[in-house]
Amino acid sequence: MLPSENEPFYDTLDEYKFNRNKGGLWMIELIATVESIQQAKDLLEAGVDTIYFGEDQFGLRLPMSFTREEQKELTELAHQYGKKASVAVNAIFHNEGIALVPEYLTFLKEIGVDNIAVGDPGVVQIMKNPEYSIPYRYDAAVLVTSSRQINFWGKRGAVGAVIAREIPREEMKILAAGVEIPIEVLVYGATCIHHSKRPLLNNYFNYIEKKESVEKRRGLFVSEPADEDSHYSIYEDINGTHIFANNDVSLAPYLLELTEMGIPQWKLDGVLAPGQDFVEVAKLFVNARNEIEAGTWTPEKSASLELQVRAHHPKVRGLEAGFYLLNPEDVK
């Protein structure tokens, strides 16, 4: 029996484990990044369950860095729709950065965010103080590759975990069967393949004595010498330099598989997929989720979904299943 539309997904981790052990299908949570207040409203009206946002001093690779007032407005907006607000606190913190975290957690707690994404154990340590404690999902990028690691953080307060985007299907099945807290998988969006705290683009332009914008909106990319058609998007922000895979991820044809594995949280990442097209993609996944839960999903609808997603995907970026279909031995 699935929860109704306005019920929480799982009130406690014990309830989550109970539903897992019963088997079958359960409610799927769609989590989407947002680039503006208006887009957040459009996504919530489309049926997205959780909006994901933050500011770039504390969060990595966000479509937009929001002011404190905007973050408060986004949180209130999500709650007006009976949905959740999740905030990125997953930056790589040095000493000066981690010193600012308590004040930010205090702010997030005051405005009532539902949970945060955390990758730095130092943030978890800070939240041992009840004054700063907020439910958190463990998000350490490529490090989250086993159920034992996820359960380790579950025993230390994590209410969920974001699994690495480099996990093939066969390993994902094993991981999902062993976790004790909900896990999130990217079903649509870009994959970062390199992150350096160094300002690599600025260093390069300084070397060639050119002054160029290095922001995401500049649309810079690098190509492989042997493949001029390759397109690795690159930009620089307060957190350093970010390089993205040549192709973005779409697991549209495999949503029923993910559900049967017991992966209840699906992420839609619009960091390189801006505007109304991202909202239209979200609508497609919402409809697919609803049909899967209703038991009306078919292979034909799955194939159609992939084509529709491609129609709204940025033309300059490819789309594929990422690591999902690879042989695990090929990625070790």
Q: Where are the domains of the chain?
A: 19-188+249-331, 195-242
pLDDT surpasses 50 at 21: no
Q: How confident is the model at residue 5 (pLDDT cuts 50, 70, 90)?
A: very low
Q: Comparing 206 with 158, which gets the higher pLDDT?
A: 158
For 234-285, the pLDDT digits (tens) are 888 888 898 889 899 999 999 999 999 999 999 999 999 999 999 999 999 9
Q: How confident is the model at residue 23 (pLDDT cuts 50, 70, 90)?
A: very low
Instruction: Give me the pLDDT at residue 227, please.
Output: 83
pLDDT surpasses 50 at 323: yes
Distance between CA atoms of residues 199 and 237, nearest Å: 8
Contact between 263 and 183 (Cβ < 8 Å): yes
Instruction: Give me the pLDDT at residue 201, please.
Output: 84
Instruction: Give me the pLDDT at residue 260, please.
Output: 92
Instruction: Give me the pLDDT at residue 274, please.
Output: 93
pLDDT surpasses 90 at 221: no
Residue closest to 66 by CA, chosen among 50, 77, 55? 55
Work out the burial of residue 57: count CB atoms within 10 Å of its CB; fewer than 13 is exposed, 13-18 middle, 19 or more buried: middle
Instruction: Give me the pLDDT at residue 26, please.
Output: 57
pLDDT surpasses 90 at 290: yes
Q: How confident is the model at residue 332 (pLDDT cuts 50, 70, 90)?
A: low
Average pLDDT of span 34-54: 98
Instruction: Give me the pLDDT at residue 10, please.
Output: 46
Please tell me the class of the 19-188+249-331 domain. alpha beta
Output the average pLDDT for the chain. Answer: 89
Q: Considering Cα of 321, then 325, then 328, then 329, what sign does the dihedral take?
A: negative
Q: List the beta strands (DSSP E) in the chain.
A: 29-33, 50-53, 84-89, 115-118, 136-138, 158-162, 183-189, 192-196, 221-224, 227-237, 240-244, 247-250, 265-268, 318-320
Instruction: Give me the pLDDT at residue 218, please.
Output: 82
Average pLDDT of span 284-302: 94
pLDDT surpasses 90 at 22: no
Distance between CA atoms of residues 20 and 4, nearest Å: 18
Instruction: Give me the pLDDT at residue 225, please.
Output: 84
58-62, 208-212, 316-320, range with the lowest pLDDT: 208-212
pLDDT surpasses 70 at 15: no
**What angle, rounded to 10 degrees, do the helices at 147-154 and 169-178 form?**
30
Cβ within 8 Å of residue 188, ≥6 positions away: 248, 249, 250, 251, 252, 267, 268, 269, 273, 281, 285, 309
Instruction: Give me the pLDDT at residue 196, please.
Output: 86
Distances, alpha carbon 73 to alpha carbons 20, 54, 68, 78, 107, in Å: 35, 12, 9, 9, 13
Instruction: Give me the pLDDT at residue 14, please.
Output: 53
pLDDT surpasses 70 at 37: yes
Instruction: Give me the pLDDT at residue 203, please.
Output: 84
For 310-321, the pLDDT digits (tens) are 999 999 899 999
Q: Comparing 250 with 228, which gets the higher pLDDT?
A: 250
